[in-house]
Amino acid sequence: MFLRNGLEPWHLLIVAVVLILLFGSKKLPDTARALGKSLRILKSETKAMREDGSAPATAAAPVAHVTPAPAPAETPAHPAP
């Protein structure tokens, strides 16, 4: 089988080179920082949902459906004579 040993160090090196080529060396730290921040937020939100989710999912209140407001009618650019 082709991937019987899983990831090897040279695989990670190829991924790193491709990322540097795609994003550039100046944007890569900002991108990694934003990704880390997003993952921390996701982790804290899932933890909060687990702590608050003591009630079964079937006992949750129904979700109210919001209907969008109708779009305003367009006025003609030139009034009819």
Distance CA 32, CA 28 (A): 6
The interaxial angle of helices 9-23 and 28-52, nearest 10 deg, is: 110
For the chain, what is the domain count? Answer: 1
Residue 38 included in any domain: yes
Domain residue limits at 32: 25-51
Res 27: pLDDT: 85
Residue 68 included in any domain: no
Q: pTM above 0.75?
A: no
> b/e for 2-23, b at 16 or more Cβ within 10 A?
eeeeeeeeeeeeeeeeeeeeee
pLDDT digits (tens, 9 = 90+) for 57-67: 544 555 566 66
Res 42: pLDDT: 95
Residue 15 included in any domain: no
Residue 6 included in any domain: no
Res 1: pLDDT: 43
Structure tokens at 7: 């990831």
Distance CA 40, CA 54 (A): 23
Res 38: pLDDT: 95
